[in-house]
Amino acid sequence: MKLLFAEDTHDLSRAVCAVLAHEGYEVDTAFDGEEAADLIHKNGYDAIVLDIMMPKKNGIEVLKELRESNIVTPVLLLTAKSEIDDRVTGLDAGADDYLTKPFAMKELLARLRAMTRRRTQYQGGDLTYKDLMLKETNFELSSENSVRLSIKEFELLRTLLMNAERALSSSYLLEQIWNEEPEASEDTLWLYISYLNRKLSAVASSVKILGSRGESYQLVSEE
């Protein structure tokens, strides 16, 4: 699973990310709120860990911004014991959970597992279309190059691959991918379509996703 860990204390970030990597997570790091917001808008993540107290933008500002942008990725806030009001504000702004510093790594891992319940219906095979391959074992997308996808990116592309060259309505895709997240919207879907098209370009595939916001989407090849 792909995570963003945003914490301005470099030693803590380095230690936590080493443990997360050992547990099999792919982790991006940010050391201020502006960097965190930029990464969130450029990439899809399975979960985001935000420290409330960060320079440039604090964690709650970043959280509000991403929720206003229809990004529904689970967010865990890191708070100091004295930040009770900020915890309440953060939960009201759309945080999924919070953890008080200092924390035990076992607790952080347990919170992350609870927020990112991985679906179990995948059979471990590969899906292919034209020059594109999607590996279900590790969510790797490959053509000339390869990248890892987040869970939502994987689920969306998997659905499109299984229906290649067929137009799928926005409502169908939202129901299939975000059926347990009623706050997800047409804008959420459009955002993830944009993520996937950037990654299709990054792996140098001839495949792309066509469609208009709020209407339907179709996986096609330019070959």
What is the pLDDT at residue 201? 94
Q: Are 149 and 199 in contact (CB under 8 A)?
A: yes
d(CA 168, CA 145): 27
Residue 98 tokens, joined: 């919070």
Does 119 have pLDDT greater than 70?
no
E-only strand ranges, the chain: 2-6, 26-30, 47-51, 75-80, 97-101, 126-129, 132-135, 140-142, 146-148, 168-169, 207-211, 216-221
Query: Which CATH class name applies to 2-115?
Result: alpha beta
- Mutual angle of helices 105-115 and 10-22, in 10-degree steps: 60
**pTM of the predicted model over 0.75:** no
Q: Fold match between 2-115 and 126-221?
A: no
d(CA 208, CA 199): 10
Nearest to 143, CA basis, from 153, 132, 134, 128: 132
What is the pLDDT at residue 120? 39
pLDDT tens digit sequence for 37-53: 999 988 888 899 999 99
C-alpha triplet 154, 59, 90: angle, nearest 5° = 90
Q: How confident is the model at residue 16 (pLDDT cuts 50, 70, 90)?
A: very high
Task: Annotate 45-67 with b (16+ C-beta within 10 A) or e (fewer).
Answer: bbbbbbbbbbeebbbbbbbbbbb
What is the pLDDT at residue 84? 66
What is the pLDDT at residue 82? 63
Q: Are 78 and 51 in contact (CB under 8 A)?
A: yes
Nearest to 81, CA basis, from 98, 96, 100: 100
Residue 194 tokens, joined: 């944009």
Report domain extents, the chain. 2-115, 126-221
Fold for the domain defined by 126-221: Arc Repressor Mutant, subunit A (1.10.10)
List residues bridging with 148 in a β-sheet. Answer: 140
